[in-house]
Amino acid sequence: MMIDTLIKYCLVWTVASLSASAVAVTQHELNQLGRTLDVQYQVLDNIEQTACESEQISGHCFSAQIRLQTEDVALIKGTVIHFSHITPIAAAQSNAVSISHINGDHHEMRITRTIPANTTETIRIAAPAWHAARSDIMPNYYLVADALAPVTIDSTVQQTEPGSGLPVNSHAGSWTKPNQYRRNADDVLPLQTSEAQFAALPEQWPVVTANRVVPKVRQRQDSLQKRHLTGIKLSSDAAHLAPWLPLVEQLGLPVGEQQETISIVIAGQQFSGPEHYALRIEEQAITLTAASDKAAGYGLLTLAQLRDPQTGQVPLTTITDAPRFAFRGVHFDIARSFTGYDSITMLLEQMAVLKLNKLHLHVSDDEGWRLEIPGLPELTEVGAYRCHDESEQRCLMPQLGSGPHRDAGVNGYLSVQQYKNLLQLANQWGIEVIPSLDMPGHSRAAIKAMEARYNRLMAENKPEQAEMYLLTEFSDKSVYSSIQHYSDNTLNPCLPSTFRFIDKLLAELKVMHQQAGVPLTTYHIGADETAGAWTQSAACKSSGIAPHDIAKTFIREIIKLGNSKGLVMAGWSDGMMEALPGLPESNVYVNIWQTLPAGASKTVSQLAASNTPAVLSLPDVLYFDFPYQNDPLEPGYYWGAKSVSLKRVFGFMPQYLGQHAELWTDRMGQPYDDEPTQNATPVLGMQAQLWTEITRDQRSVEYMLFPRLLAFAERAWHQAEWEGKVSQAEFLPALNRDFSEFTQVVAKRHYPRLVEADINVRIPPPGYQIDAQHQLELRAAMPNLKLEYSADAMTWHTYTGAVSADNIHFVRARLINSPHTSRIIAVEP
Ligand code: TNX
């Protein structure tokens, strides 16, 4: 623990005990305060830097104000408001409160002078970086007074937004001025609000009856003839392909005993890769030849999409199909927020529909440990929960706005049985689960859980057992701060118990996989964002390894350990690029998570040159925790890009990274330099990332993933003919045509099926314009939408053409024949 954090905790205890009589609040009053205290957070300015300069905050900073308004209950001196704030608040101007950063994003606001009933106290704060979006503000502030039970402040609880179905921060103010929605003076990125989008949208979307397959097939030769197909059934020798049938039905092709039998031949030797297949639809027969069971499943998914659900017709056609990349992955962070077992099964099912084949499951991080490990109960009993417990013996202290209670929605973990079920579910669709227990950084949950275990066993007088898996060297007073501002989140590679712990994890994982009948083949070690630990570690000093070599030595050790157990070892590029040069023979792959302007293309070329398999995880196009569009009300972190739109993902050219510099800008909207790639760069594949710091429930997970995952699957499976040809005149028209066709099939076929599967797919809001005659015009951002307007957001009218804007205050888009709508957009007169 960082010294000043320790001091802060000590202060908290002393002040709390000294002021026990000063905080003369009853539980009843505290509860009432929780109901009535109004907390509002308003960003003032991301660009103006005087606050930073006067407070000597190094680097860029922003100013904001937190307004506390009491009703009939006073906020008594000595009460503490606990809250999350992404970056550490460095200065707070107020005569009534003082704010201190504790650890990670956890802050305390101590009331130093009673704020009487019916009073407003406004606190000006300054903190590093910027807050340019509503989702930056953290929810669930809570009150603590002495030994009373902590109480959540209701005004900071998220409310479900009509339309999007997302929980949003209603205590967050507005982002109407450029100095609020731009992140700094360089930020020239145009806003993509509904008003700004209008001009770029077509007046009318063409009506097509698309039976394009998503992802697009490699070769397809339709004849002009069509035939009828009512439904399919599997012959008895193909019965083991049954797990694919629900997906086939979801895609609109009926399945049943009375239906037509598909002839399926598995013939690995006929194909050059295990996921290849050929499909032939003739008048009399449908034949599927496939390299493997999985490829046969893929063929069935393709067949389903060829059928027009209205007419039941399929084209007579010959298709040969194969993926461009062997690795088509999704990274799902279940550590920051645990959105539940069902959110993982939902993802697996949709991955299978989209022919994706790797699930990188991010099981642990600073904020949570999400997999039961037999023999180490504290990992999940303590490490899978965030609640108010300053000793952190029952749970981790709240982070990311999780609030004080153990039953918070973001808490929880996968039991051994659930994990095994997931492995089997994934396996039946040919999806490999790649578990990741992030280390040596991002390990706070494990470290704290193992401290709790140590304390338990010491109290039971079992010192040997206690020390067995202890990850803390109590005498190590190294002072550091991780990217997410933790002072105590890094494993110590110089302790033998660290390796015992990792060995134990790998052993238990192997057993779970074995028991599930799905052997563990790949393990992801994280290896990212290790910052400054161990400088004062006695164990490291005596190891003789120079401090700056410790991280890479550790990563090498773990790679060797895993490889010796027959595992492919994976890691994030920052740690891996450091470690790999010393390990020529290793069996690894690397996730590149540099942005394009930060030099991703060079890292990829470097890896290609050393024959190291690379998986593209570029934040500025493949981080699906980033917003869909540059609108302060669209949720998402945005450190690497302010808009990861459907079109951006679709238009990504994974093997021609250099070319994007001619099309895209950096995160501030500024041009950047890169060298066009001459030949397609070999990469193992690509991976979409969903980190979940602020994606806290399944509805939000679905919103962030869909529809972007469809565009991702398209690029991971299919190489478009326009890729890489940026300098050719045909490039843009070809990309636009392809995207328009894709959008149409996504809107017409996939939106309805996703909604039918109860998935909270994002409906894009309409563009709007109010002209000089005060007429309101609306345009849809995709086909298959009905547009609506309203005076009060209660009664809605269908838009049929320009209409007087008088008394219209809200607009939205609705998926035709569904209750599903876009966010409600407030119309600015
Ligand atoms: C970067 S990518 C991270 C994660 C965050 C993510 C948020 C990587 C290896 N580290 O820890 O969750 O950004 O976008």
Distance 725 CA to ligand 1 centre (A): 31
Ligand 1 within 6 A of CB of 593? yes
The residues pairing with 45 across neighbouring beta strands, listed in sequence order, are 63
194-217+728-829 CATH, one of 3.20.20.70, 3.90.550.10, 2.60.40.10, 2.60.40.420:
2.60.40.10
At 584, the pLDDT band (50, 70, 90 cuts) reads confident
Is 714 catalytic? The answer is no
Helices 341-353 and 293-306 sit at what angle, rounded to 10 degrees?
A: 80
At 209, the pLDDT band (50, 70, 90 cuts) reads low
Ligand 1 within 6 A of CB of 623? yes
CB neighbour list of residue 366: distance below 8 Å, 6 or more residues apart: 104, 399, 442, 443, 444, 445, 482, 484, 486, 489
At 24, the pLDDT band (50, 70, 90 cuts) reads confident
Q: Where in the chain is the domain with CATH 2.60.40.10?
A: 194-217+728-829
For 416-451, the pLDDT digits (tens) are 999 999 999 999 999 999 999 999 999 999 999 999
What kind and span of H or E run contains 27?
helix 27-36
Q: Which CATH superfamily is domain 327-375+422-724 in?
A: Glycosidases (3.20.20.80)
Ligand 1 within 6 A of CB of 338? no
What kind and span of H or E run contains 120?
strand 120-128
Distance 454 CA to ligand 1 centre (A): 30
Token representation of residue 579? 């470690």
* pLDDT in the model for residue 828: 84
Ligand 1 within 6 A of CB of 572? yes
Q: Say which range, 145-159, 574-588, 591-605, 712-726, has the weakest mean pLDDT.
A: 574-588
Considering the candidates 108, 378, 529, 777, report the single residue annotated as catalytic.
529
CATH code for the structural domain at 219-321: 3.30.379.10
Residues 526-554, mean pLDDT to the nearest whole number: 88
User: For 290, left (φ over 0), alpha (ψ -120 to 50), or beta?
Assistant: beta
Which candidate, 198, 218, 222, 203, places its Cα nearest to that of 272? Answer: 218
Q: Where in the chain is the domain with CATH 3.20.20.80?
A: 327-375+422-724
For 231-267, the pLDDT digits (tens) are 999 999 999 999 999 999 999 999 999 999 999 999 9
What kind and span of H or E run contains 9?
helix 3-18
Distance 236 CA to ligand 1 centre (A): 47
The CB density around residue 26, as the number of other CB atoms within 10 Å, is: 10
User: For 772, left (φ over 0), alpha (ψ -120 to 50), or beta?
Assistant: alpha
Q: Looking at the CA of residue 574, tell me the nearest atom of ligand 1.
A: 9
Q: Calculate what percentage of the chain has a pLDDT beyond 70.
A: 97
State which of 400, 529, 603, 615 you would mutate to test the pocket of ligand 1, scoring each by most atoms of that ligand within 8 A of its C-beta.
529
Ligand 1 within 6 A of CB of 674? no
- Name the residue with the closest Cα to ligand 1, atom 12: 691
Residues 125-146, mean pLDDT to the nearest whole number: 97
CA atoms within 13 A on the CB side of 118: 1
Torsion of CA 367, 373, 378, 384, to 10 degrees: 30
At 18, the pLDDT band (50, 70, 90 cuts) reads very low
The CB density around residue 539, as the number of other CB atoms within 10 Å, is: 17
Which candidate, 40, 42, 111, places its Cα nearest to that of 73? Answer: 111
Q: How confident is the prediction for the chain on average, in pLDDT? A: 95
Which candidate, 148, 348, 320, 340, places its Cα nearest to that of 243? Answer: 348
List the Cα angle 789/792/797 in 5-degree steps. 30
Per-residue pLDDT at 598 exceeds 70? yes
Q: Where in the chain is the domain with CATH 3.30.379.10?
A: 219-321
Q: Are 625 and 708 in contact (CB under 8 A)?
A: no
CA atoms within 13 A on the CB side of 636: 27
For 179-188, the pLDDT digits (tens) are 999 999 999 9
At 212, the pLDDT band (50, 70, 90 cuts) reads very high
Per-residue pLDDT at 398 exceeds 60? yes
Ligand 1 within 6 A of CB of 528? yes
Ligand 1 within 6 A of CB of 738? no
Residues 318-340, mean pLDDT to the nearest whole number: 98
- Name the residue with the closest Cα to ligand 1, atom 8: 528
At 391, the pLDDT band (50, 70, 90 cuts) reads very high
**Exposure class string for 364-374: b at 16+ Cβ within 10 A, else e:** bbbbbbbbbbe
- Give whole-number Cα distances, 348 to 331, 428, 588, 761, in Å: 11, 10, 24, 16
Token representation of residue 416? 């051994």
Distance 335 CA to ligand 1 centre (A): 12
Residues 278-292, mean pLDDT to the nearest whole number: 97
Q: Where in the chain is the domain with CATH 2.60.40.290?
A: 3-181
State in words which class domain 3-181 has.
mainly beta
Residues 374-399, mean pLDDT to the nearest whole number: 98
State which of 334, 444, 528 you would mutate to test the pocket of ligand 1, scoring each by most atoms of that ligand within 8 A of its C-beta.
528
For 80-106, the pLDDT digits (tens) are 999 999 999 999 999 999 999 999 999
At 381, the pLDDT band (50, 70, 90 cuts) reads very high
Residues 329-352, mean pLDDT to the nearest whole number: 98
The CB density around residue 597, as the number of other CB atoms within 10 Å, is: 21
CA distance 427 to 425: 5
